[in-house]
Structure 1
Amino acid sequence: EKGVTLAEIASIANVGRHGMSVARDLPVAIERTSYFKPKQAAYSSGISAIIVNVDVETGKIEILRSILGHDCGTVLNPLLVEGQVLGGHAHGIGNAIYEEAKYSKDGQPLTVSYLDYALPTAIEVPTPELFHVVSPSPLNPLGVKGSGEGGTVPLPASVANAVEDALRPFGARIREIPLTPDRVLAAIYGFGKREA
């Protein structure tokens, strides 16, 4: 019975001991790696509009409607672009309402697990009304730009503006994110100051 043990295979494959070589008559493909670095970066852009409901007793924010537009230049893979933008949308909502990195006075992280660091779930992230604008970049041969940023970057400002608008009757001003319930209640009822 012919065979090779796993130990023999491991011994042969162990770099620095026996090594493996390609048979002399077997053609070997030539490999080449190259990089393209454009002279100037091409930036994507995005726009967001948010409608919220703010519970003035608990400080909880509910996003009722989200409209999101972005321009990533030439769209090479529509499914990939949509996934990037939707993921960015969820990340932006997390930045706006939930995610807060806290540190002690001596710089030690206090938010070290998901018990301390809140993230939005699918329940808190509505599916946005999404539209694409395609304006190819003149700065690279494919006309492409980034695709995830258009979903992430505008969301915190949109949410903060929507919350401030909802709290206008209270004279609340929003100046800091994430908009945790404590910050929202402080802005509404003026715990120490009228800004969140």
Structure 2
Amino acid sequence: GTEPGLEATDYFGPERGATASGVHAMIVEVDPETMMVEIKKYVVVHDCGRVINPMILEGQIQGGVAQGIGNAFYEQLHFDENGQLLNASFMDYLVPTADTVPPIETDHVETPSPLNPLGVKGAGEAGAIPVGPLFAQALEDALNRPGLEIREIPLSPDRLFALLT
């Protein structure tokens, strides 16, 4: 049988979230013969409220951008006709490496949040989320093809060739 018990559930949600804001900018170069992309410059200006630990924040942003670059350019799951994953190891599943992630210039604006006693806002998501759309727009600009609209990622050289033919 089942033992009787006591259970309680409660949820906390602030009336308004302390949302971070920021801007990312990227300059890319595309080799027209190979469609290999080189990120020439990447800049982030971020406002996560009061910065408590600048070194950790810098790591969060840089790691998030690296993850976003992986999502935008490298990472894709491949399955066979039976649904078997074909690239289940790091030998087959591409991720960015130290030589493919550019130096990331960062700056911080501190606008303390009035919604919590520390004045903090989110920081972890801000590195990764904007990279995919930014990457697509930077490629559209670099390729300079009238009517080209890149609407999905990842954008490997093979996928770029397919988009342009």
**TM-score band w.r.t. shorter chain:** 0.7 to 0.9
Does 2:42 align with 1:66? yes
Determine the structure 2 residue equivalent to 1:39. Answer: 14
Deviation at 1:105, TM superposition (A): 4.7
Distance 1:107 1:134, change over 3 A: farther
Instruction: Report the Cα distance in structure 1 between the residues aligned to 2:126 and 2:96, rounded to whole angstroms.
Output: 19
Q: 5+ unaligned residues in a row in structure 2: which ranges? A: 1-11
State the partner residue of 1:163.
Answer: 139
Query: Is the radius of gyration larger for structure 1 or structure 2?
Result: 1
RMSD: 2.0
Q: Matched residues in 2 for 1:71 and 1:106: separation? A: 46
Secondary structure, aligned partner of 2:23: strand
Candidates 115, 121, 134, aligned match of 2:97: 121
Residue identity (%): 51
Report SS of the residue matched to 2:145.
helix
108, 113, 120: which one pairs with 1:144? 120
Q: Which residue identity lines up with residue 63 of structure 1 in the other structure?
A: I
Q: Structure 1 105/72 Cα, relative in aligned 2: closer, same or farther at 3 Å?
A: farther
Aligned residue identity for 2:52: L
The alignment partner of 1:169 has SS state of coil
Aligned equivalent of 2:52? 76
How big is each residue's C-alpha offset from its partner over 1:13-64, in whole Å with a ceiling of 9 and x where there is no partner? xxxxxxxxxxxxxxxxxxxxxxxx5524322223111110111111111100
Gaps of 5+ in 1: 1-36, 191-196
Q: Confirm or deny: 8 A CA contact 1:56 1:185 kept in the other structure.
A: no
Amino acid at match of 2:14: K
Residues 47 and 107 (structure 1), Cα distance of their counterparts in 2 relative to 1, 3 Å cut: farther
Q: Which has the higher mean CA deviation after the structures are superposed, 42-51 or 168-177?
A: 168-177
Q: 1: distance between equivalents of 2:80 and 2:113?
A: 44
- 2-side partners of 1:142 and 1:124: how far apart? 36
What residue identity is the alignment partner of 2:35?
Answer: G
Q: Residue type of the partner of 2:39? A: I
Q: Which residue of 2 aligns with 1:182?
A: 158
Q: Displacement, 1:79?
A: 0.8
Partner of 1:26: none
Distance in 2 (alpha carbons) for counterparts of 1:89 and 1:99? 14
2:25 aligned with 1:49? yes
How many residue pairs are counted as aligned between the two chains? 154
1:157 & 1:110 partners in 2: Cα distance?
27
Kept after mapping to 2: 8 A contact 1:173/1:187: no
1:100 aligned onto 2:43: no
1:88 aligns with 2:60: no
TM-score, structure 1 as length reference: 0.72
